[in-house]
C-alpha cells in the first residue's frame, strides 16, 4: 500500500490481453471474463502475458507475502481475451472487445482500459480502425492507457493504438537507450509526439499463469510499463472519482521526471507515483 492508503478500491480496470489465470493475488476481484477468441466462460490464460500485466496493475502480492504487489491491489479486474496463446490477435476481436466495454462500462464500473498490445503502421486500415476504436473509448470518458510497443529504436516505431493522439501512451524508461533501446518512439505518421511518458519495464516480476507451480515470473517490455500507469490512475480515481481522462493526462505530464532525452523518446519523462498522487487534492 502507498503512503496515501489508496488501493484503487472499487475501480474497474479492463485488460485487453491474452486472458487471465485466477491467481491467488486476484482473490475475488476478477469480476468479469470474456473470451473473444474461443468463447470459453471461465478465466484462463494460455499465454501468460495477460496474467502478468493484470498483476502489475492490480495484484495483491498475497502469494509472495506482499513482495510483488501491483499498483492498485484493491481494483476490480475485467479481463477480455483478445489474443491467442501465441500473443496474436485479429482486428475484429479487439474492436468487438472495445465495443463491449462501451456497452458494459457502467455494469462493471469500468473506468480504465489497459491495452498492452499493438500493431505496426504498415497496415493502414488496421491502424486506423484501432485508433478509431480507442478514441471512441476516450471520448466516452474512459481512461485509456496503451503501450508504445517494442519496435524501437527507430523513429516512428510506436505501435497502434498507442499512436493515437488522445490516449495515454507509455514507453519503458529502462529500455530507451543502447543495448535495450526497443521502446517504441515517435513521431507518428501524423507527426504526433509519442510516447506520453515512460515507466520501468525491464525484468518486472508479476503473476504467473500457474504452470509448473510458479507463482511469479519476470517479463520485459512496454507491456509491463503500461499497467503500472493504469493502476496508478485507479489510485487517483479512488482519491478523486471526478477526475476526467484529460485531467489525468495533464497530471501525468506535470508530475513526470524529465530524463533529459528527446520528447519522442521519453515523452514528458518518467512516471513518478508520489508526485502524481500529491497533485490530487
Residues annotated catalytic, as ranges: 17, 49, 223
Alpha-carbon distances of 58 from 8, 163, 176, 213, 229, rounded to whole Å: 8, 25, 26, 21, 11
Alpha-carbon distances of 245 from 49, 68, 129, 229, rounded to whole Å: 26, 28, 21, 13
Closest CA to 238 of 270, 271, 280, 206: 280
The three three-digit cell numbers of residue 214, written as one number: 510458479
Q: Are 146 and 130 in contact (CB under 8 A)?
A: no
Alpha-carbon distances of 217 from 55, 64, 74, rounded to whole Å: 11, 12, 21
> What is the spatial distance between Cα 94 and Cα 117, in angstroms, rounded to a whole number?
10
Closest CA to 149 of 183, 175, 122, 181: 183
Amino acid at each position: 500500500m502507498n503512503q496515501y492508503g489508496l488501493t484503487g478500491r472499487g475501480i474497474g480496470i479492463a485488460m485487453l490481453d491474452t486472458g487471465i489465470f485466477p491467481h491467488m493475488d486476484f482473490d475475488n476481484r476478477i469480476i468479469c471474463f470474456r473470451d473473444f477468441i474461443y468463447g470459453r466462460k471461465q478465466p484462463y490464460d494460455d499465454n501468460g502475458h495477460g496474467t502478468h500485466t493484470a498483476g502489475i496493475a492490480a495484484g495483491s502480492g498475497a502469494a509472495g507475502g506482499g513482495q510483488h504487489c501491483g499498483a492498485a491491489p484493491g481494483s476490480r479486474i475485467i479481463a477480455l481475451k483478445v489474443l491467442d496463446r501465441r500473443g496474436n490477435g485479429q482486428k475484429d476481436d479487439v474492436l468487438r472487445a472495445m465495443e463491449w466495454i462501451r456497452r458494459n462500462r457502467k455494469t462493471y464500473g469500468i473506468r480504465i482500459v489497459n491495452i498492452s498490445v499493438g500493431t505496426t503502421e504498415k497496415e493502414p486500415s488496421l491502424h486506423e480502425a484501432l485508433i478509431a476504436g480507442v478514441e471512441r473509448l476516450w471520448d466516452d470518458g474512459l481512461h485509456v492507457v496503451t503501450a508504445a510497443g517494442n519496435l524501437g529504436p527507430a523513429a516512428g516505431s510506436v505501435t497502434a493504438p498507442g499512436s493515437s493522439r488522445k490516449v495515454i501512451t507509455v514507453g519503458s524508461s529502462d529500455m530507451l537507450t543502447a543495448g535495450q533501446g526497443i521502446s517504441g518512439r515517435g513521431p507518428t505518421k501524423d507527426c504526433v509526439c509519442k510516447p506520453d511518458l515512460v515507466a520501468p519495464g525491464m525484468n518486472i516480476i508479476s503473476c504467473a499463469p500457474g504452470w509448473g507451480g510458479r507463482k511469479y515470473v519476470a517479463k520485459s517490455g512496454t507491456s509491463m510499463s503500461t499497467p503500472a500507469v493504469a493502476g496508478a490512475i485507479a489510485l487517483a480515481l479512488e482519491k478523486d472519482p471526478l477526475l476526467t481522462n484529460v485531467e489525468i493526462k495533464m497530471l501525468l505530464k506535470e508530475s513526470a521526471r524529465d530524463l533529459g532525452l528527446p520528447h519522442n523518446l521519453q515523452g514528458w519523462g518518467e512516471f513518478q507515483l508520489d508526485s502524481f498522487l500529491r497533485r490530487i487534492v
